[in-house]
A and B are shown apart, each in its own frame.
Chain A
């Protein structure tokens, strides 16, 4: 399809607390993001009309840019070639709690997991996964369905031509629960059936009257194949038709947009997938917000997304403490702090989520919690971003001593090329190096890995824009959205403190040169500014691996960034000293070595 000729684009993301608008304009051959505005989201009382927040945020763009975009409550299209109008308006939304789904599959580790991946990739929060073998009694499942009040249910189960009993049983439970949708009292709950084709007539009989049933292709037609896209498209259709249409003001909003509104995480996932495909790289992305942390990955060409619904930096900050445990948070705090005091501080952030750290120690505590939230969210992501389970594998003689089970995680840090961080604590850290070290500590990348942050969280806008004009989205992504922090080179292995773990020779495109030896246990930052590239040669000591194998030298093309080139000699896995005094000393030494905090 030919792309529409667009010169001026206005895009919004209606988040749960803030609606963010950006203006994108074509400058010569390339598109640039030029102005932004934001305003509180107005889905809740007293306004109960999402368009109010949208208009306010666009008004701010008007004031800053001098472009007239609104005529009362109408977006002026097309652009008149001067300073009036835009060519298209697009939007994403996660307001009102986003898209909340429940999924069901016959076997938890097979169709249950496929259904979960399908819904998550579609931008939903998965409230629960029902399965025939999930250990709950029938009445417990029914009670659970009734309590949760999801926006939508994805029902799957069985391979095509396989048994119908389990999926019909799940349908019977759903029917008995007779769940009501969260929004729109009196409306039927949308249910997508994407299971065994042989059970369709039974499913239609059981659920056809009670729910707004949509039937689509099986997400697991055979054990060896997952087919998520047809069901994912249905999720997006129903999101607009049923869920969004019930939310206050969305009918009006939908009439304004030049492309279907996407759930925010689906748009972010789409842009990440596009980047990975275009550049032929593996990507790990994390968007850490106040309430949730979304993790996206593209490994082996497979896109996965998970959302950790209760890991965040404000509303859910206490849950990070509950899940990680106090000791895991304390291990990143570079000073001594009383446990009771720390607990109270975290709870006070939870109940007053809009406050910001005002002292350095408060900032360091929040950044410690961020490391744990990122780590936990990645752990959860690794469990779902896996190969298909229960499939037949061909094994040769070479596998005799190395028989791996099916369903291994796809997330292999040694294969990772790019980490992209997003969310206030990463995008707005006072020093870029803080964002870089937080992500390195949490993810512990191996070998050479590039790191970046989303400057002002515009990936959702670009994700939806890519559906109408990919070039515009990619131009802005490369030039205005991504802030490259630099590369991290980490040596895997362990050794004695102070002994060399690798030597390095780095020659930058401006002619500068750095060489030396990195002691085990050290962190070092080499200056390599944004816009520069470099050739690096890293020779690991015996027992260490810089990405080319143990003891083997590694050559890499490096790219500069806002932080620089980080050499990480702390080993993998990164082990912090047990003693509090030694741990604090180590954290302070690392912080000082890379200029993490003001002196």
Chain B
């Protein structure tokens, strides 16, 4: 029987990571295999087609659509400037002349003799794709993008908002169960990626924006604050494009939940290091979790481990995090994995495991409600 799918978040001090960087449309790749790149380096670029504007010439001139070309001063493909005349009528008296002007600079894309519309396209907009992490180019997909490889410490969060950022890691809490209160953010945290403990209240987020903090990594926060910061109720977990002034990553979930000690200690050991982070989260079809990538410095990289192999599933002794009430957020290890279906308090027959907490107490929980703490 296929083993239980037990997703886990990776928290590791050394890993070889590969990041695919792809253009939205085909363009030009600006680096070659073997090139060393910084997070800010441009690796590829393309021209995004300009916006299209519609001008209904026949309505403006009071003519029939099939006559439009006789009144046009420009042809398809011609460049136009703002306020330049596109078409004009031919009255007997010059005073009654009416001209239709271009609302934008660009070129004429289409003149329709059926609808009487003229489509104008603005000039293309250049898009530059950056490497996002310090590393080496290991693959080039012609005209489409590259793969950047880096040896790094790596922390996956459970949920985030905001896009990609690069900055230095800074500590704001001394313990993983501490709240990240506003006074813990200092002016020197400007442009930094600040990590805290169990919870961040909305007042701290406001202060983070004022100071210019680039990223906040914390155990949990409240959904009501998420709604306040976004201005709407987030319905579906597809994030990464929010523009709230910084990137926020939760490592545990919603509510007040101490950051896993291992995550807290790893980030603590990297204070002052340069890191890349992304809040992009997508939980449907191709799970994407927010992440903090802290490339290893020179001299640290040689002993990097190979990428983790495929997991075998849960086994006794595995460290786990319980991810559903009534034990939400607690850490434990697997004591046993009874094979038979067990009826839980809801009366549902499910596959369970026995979890053992650090104080020696234990609980029977559905296997679906735990995740492996992966390294």
Instruction: Give A residues with C-beta under 8 Å from B.
Output: 16, 38-40, 43-45, 56, 60, 63, 96-97, 137-139, 142-143, 146, 164-165, 168-169, 172-173, 175-178, 180, 185-186, 202, 291, 310, 315-316, 318-319, 321-323, 339-341, 343-348, 350-360, 362-363, 428, 430-431, 598
Name A351's contact: one of B1, B117, B237 (CB within 8 Å).
B237
Stretch of B128-136, B203-211, B318-326 at the chain-chain interface: B318-326
A358 to B352, CA, bound (A): 11
- B344 on interface, CB distance cutoff 8 Å: yes
Q: What residues of chain B lie closer than 8 Å to A339, measured between beta carbons?
A: 224
A355 to B54, CA, bound (A): 50
- B360 on interface, CB distance cutoff 8 Å: no
Name A96's contact: one of B54, B224, B285 (CB within 8 Å).
B285
Q: How far is the CB of B312 from chain A (nearest CB, A)?
A: 15
A352 to B346, CA, bound (A): 19
Ordered by A's residue number, 24 sampled pairs between the chains whose C-beta atoms are within 8 Å are: A16-B284, A56-B2, A63-B1, A139-B53, A142-B52, A146-B49, A165-B114, A168-B114, A169-B114, A172-B117, A186-B26, A315-B236, A318-B233, A318-B234, A341-B255, A344-B222, A344-B254, A344-B255, A351-B159, A355-B369, A358-B344, A358-B365, A359-B325, A362-B325
Q: Is the CB of B114 within 8 A of A202?
A: yes
Q: What residues of chain A lie closer than 8 Å to B26, measured between beta carbons?
A: 185-186
Q: How far is the CB of A367 from chain B (nearest CB, A)?
A: 10
- B109 on interface, CB distance cutoff 8 Å: yes
User: Which residue of chain B has the shortest Cβ distance to A64 in the bound complex?
Assistant: B1
Q: Is the CB of A291 within 8 A of B350?
A: no
Chain B residues numbered 151-202 whose CB sits less than 8 Å from any CB in chain A:
158-159
Q: Is the CB of A350 within 8 A of B52?
A: no
Q: What residues of chain A lie closer than 8 Å to B283, measured between beta carbons?
A: 315, 350-351, 353
A63 to B119, CA, bound (A): 62
Q: Is the CB of B112 within 8 A of A318?
A: no
Q: Is the CB of A355 within 8 A of B235?
A: no
Q: Is the CB of B233 within 8 A of A322?
A: yes
Name A38's contact: one of B2, B7, B326 (CB within 8 Å).
B2
Chain B residues numbered 101-117 whose CB sits less than 8 Å from any CB in chain A:
109-110, 112, 114-115, 117
Q: A344-B222, A352-B253 are in contact. List 9 more A-B contacts (CB 8 A).
A: A16-B284, A60-B2, A96-B285, A139-B54, A169-B112, A172-B112, A321-B233, A354-B368, A358-B369
Q: Is the CB of A185 within 8 A of B346?
A: no
Q: How far is the CB of A205 from chain B (nearest CB, A)?
A: 10
Q: Is the CB of B119 within 8 A of A172?
A: yes
Q: How far is the CB of B143 from chain A (nearest CB, A)?
A: 9
Using A165-B115, A172-B112, A185-B144 as known contacts, say yes or no to A340 and B236 having CB atoms under 8 A apart: no
Using A138-B54, A172-B110, A176-B109 as known contacts, say yes or no to A352 and B49 having CB atoms under 8 A apart: no
- B345 on interface, CB distance cutoff 8 Å: yes
Using A39-B2, A202-B114, A310-B235 as known contacts, say yes or no to A358 and B366 having CB atoms under 8 A apart: yes
Q: Is the CB of A315 within 8 A of B237?
A: yes
Q: Is the CB of B224 within 8 A of A316?
A: no
User: Which residue of chain A has the shortest Cβ distance to B323 in the bound complex?
Assistant: A352
Q: How far is the CB of B139 from chain A (nearest CB, A)?
A: 14
Name A354's contact: one of B2, B5, B158, B284 (CB within 8 Å).
B5
Using A348-B254, A350-B283, A354-B7 as known contacts, say yes or no to A362 and B324 having CB atoms under 8 A apart: yes
User: Which residue of chain B has the shortest Cβ distance to A429 in the bound complex?
Assistant: B348
Q: Is the CB of B348 within 8 A of A40?
A: no
Chain B residues numbered 217-269 whose CB sits less than 8 Å from any CB in chain A:
222-224, 226, 232-237, 253-255
Q: Is the CB of A176 within 8 A of B369?
A: no
- B85 on interface, CB distance cutoff 8 Å: no
- B286 on interface, CB distance cutoff 8 Å: yes
- B25 on interface, CB distance cutoff 8 Å: yes
A356 to B344, CA, bound (A): 11
Q: Is the CB of A347 within 8 A of B223?
A: yes
Instruction: Give B residues with C-beta under 8 Å from A.
Output: 1-2, 5, 7, 25-26, 49, 51-54, 65, 109-110, 112, 114-115, 117, 119, 121, 144, 158-159, 222-224, 226, 232-237, 253-255, 281, 283-286, 323-326, 328, 344-348, 350, 365-366, 368-369, 371
Name B224's contact: one of A142, A146, A343, A357 (CB within 8 Å).
A343
Q: Is the CB of A318 within 8 A of B237?
A: yes
A339 to B224, CA, bound (A): 9
Using A56-B2, A315-B237, A318-B233 as known contacts, say yes or no to A360 and B285 having CB atoms under 8 A apart: no
Max chain B Cβ within 10 angstroms of own Cβ: one of A45, A339, A359: A359
Name B346's contact: one of A315, A318, A323, A430 (CB within 8 Å).
A430
A595 to B317, CA, bound (A): 40
Q: Is the CB of B114 within 8 A of A177?
A: no
Q: Is the CB of B2 within 8 A of A355?
A: no
User: Which residue of chain B has the shortest Cβ distance to A311 in the bound complex?
Assistant: B235
Q: What residues of chain A lie closer than 8 Å to B53, measured between beta carbons?
A: 138-139
Q: How far is the CB of A330 from chain B (nearest CB, A)?
A: 15
A345 to B54, CA, bound (A): 47
Q: Is the CB of A431 within 8 A of B235?
A: no
Name B223's contact: one of A168, A346, A355 (CB within 8 Å).
A346
A63 to B2, CA, bound (A): 11
Q: What residues of chain B lie closer than 8 Å to A56, measured between beta carbons?
A: 2
Q: What residues of chain A lie closer than 8 Å to B237, measured between beta carbons?
A: 315, 318, 350-351
A96 to B54, CA, bound (A): 35
User: Which residue of chain B has the shortest Cβ distance to A43 in the bound complex?
Assistant: B285
A400 to B233, CA, bound (A): 47
Name A139's contact: one of B7, B25, B52, B144 (CB within 8 Å).
B52
A362 to B233, CA, bound (A): 21
Q: How far is the CB of B46 from chain A (nearest CB, A)?
A: 13
A350 to B281, CA, bound (A): 11
Q: Is the CB of A430 within 8 A of B348?
A: yes
Q: Is the CB of A343 within 8 A of B52?
A: no
Using A318-B236, A359-B345 as known contacts, say yes or no to A344 and B223 having CB atoms under 8 A apart: yes
Q: How far is the CB of B17 from chain A (nearest CB, A)?
A: 14
Name B347's contact: one of A169, A175, A185, A431 (CB within 8 Å).
A431
A194 to B302, CA, bound (A): 62
Max chain A Cβ within 10 angstroms of own Cβ: one of B5, B51, B284, B328: B284
Name A345's contact: one of B65, B114, B325, B365 (CB within 8 Å).
B325
Q: Is the CB of B255 within 8 A of A348?
A: yes
Q: What residues of chain B lie closer than 8 Å to A137, measured between beta carbons?
A: 54
Q: How far is the CB of B305 from chain A (nearest CB, A)?
A: 18
A562 to B49, CA, bound (A): 60
Using A176-B52, A321-B233 as known contacts, say yes or no to A40 and B2 having CB atoms under 8 A apart: yes
A29 to B223, CA, bound (A): 57
Q: What residues of chain A lie closer than 8 Å to B255, measured between beta carbons?
A: 341, 344, 348
A39 to B286, CA, bound (A): 16
Q: Is the CB of B325 within 8 A of A16?
A: no
A479 to B286, CA, bound (A): 36
Q: How far is the CB of A250 from chain B (nearest CB, A)?
A: 15
Q: What residues of chain B lie closer than 8 Å to A178, measured between beta carbons?
A: 49
Q: Is the CB of B54 within 8 A of A356?
A: no
Q: How far is the CB of A390 from chain B (nearest CB, A)?
A: 22
Q: What residues of chain A lie closer than 8 Å to B350, measured between beta carbons?
A: 356
A340 to B121, CA, bound (A): 48
Q: Is the CB of A348 within 8 A of B114?
A: no
Q: What residues of chain B lie closer than 8 Å to A341, measured between beta carbons?
A: 255
Name B235's contact: one of A97, A175, A318, A357 (CB within 8 Å).
A318
Q: What residues of chain B lie closer than 8 Å to A60, measured between beta carbons?
A: 1-2
Q: How far is the CB of A357 from chain B (nearest CB, A)?
A: 6
A357 to B368, CA, bound (A): 10
Q: Is the CB of A45 within 8 A of B345?
A: no
A176 to B1, CA, bound (A): 52
Q: Is the CB of A176 within 8 A of B347?
A: no
Q: Is the CB of A97 within 8 A of B2?
A: no
Q: Is the CB of A40 within 8 A of B5?
A: yes
Q: What residues of chain B lie closer than 8 Å to A175, measured between beta carbons?
A: 110
Using A16-B284, A60-B1, A169-B117 as known contacts, say yes or no to A143 and B51 having CB atoms under 8 A apart: yes
Q: How far is the CB of A99 from chain B (nearest CB, A)?
A: 13
Q: What residues of chain B lie closer than 8 Å to A291, measured between beta carbons?
A: 284
Q: Is the CB of B119 within 8 A of A176?
A: yes
Q: Is the CB of B285 within 8 A of A358?
A: no
